[in-house]
Amino acid sequence: MAKLTFNTDSCKGCGLCVNACPKNLLRLSKETINKKGHHPVEITDMEACIGCASCAWMCPDCIIKVER
């Protein structure tokens, strides 16, 4: 089973990972704001993640750790 860990404090909310996810599991959080003042990324359904790391490949800030 795949596991994603986000270093949300460094997220700039650019959304490149959201568009890279082939399963459309990522979104920018509407409720939370991080230290930098951005809406950080969050995953909607961890169970459905296939651990392909596409999001991590497109993240310009290296905030995503992928485990499988």
Partner 1 sequence: MVVFDKPHALTDTPFHYCPGCTHGIIHRLVAEVLDELGIEGKTIGIAPVGCSVMAYNYFNCDMIEAAHGRAPAVATGVKRANPDNIVFSYQGDGDLASIGMAETVHAAARNENITVIFINNAIYGMTGGQMAPTSLVGQVTQTSPYGRDPKMCGYPVKICEMLSQLEGPEYLERVTVNSVKNARRAKAAIKKAFENQIAGKGFSLVEVLSSCPTNWGMTPDAALKWIDDKMIPYYPLGVYKDRSAKEEN
Minimum separation from the CB atom of position 15 to partner 1 (A): 6
Helix, strand and coil in the chain, % to nearest 5: 25, 20, 55
Q: Which residues bind partner 1 (CB under 8 A)?
A: 10, 12-16, 19-20, 38, 51, 53-54, 56-62, 64-68
d(CA 68, CA 61): 21
Smaller CB separation from partner 1, 47 or 62: 62
Smaller CB separation from partner 1, 42 or 54: 54
4 DSSP β-pair partners:
66
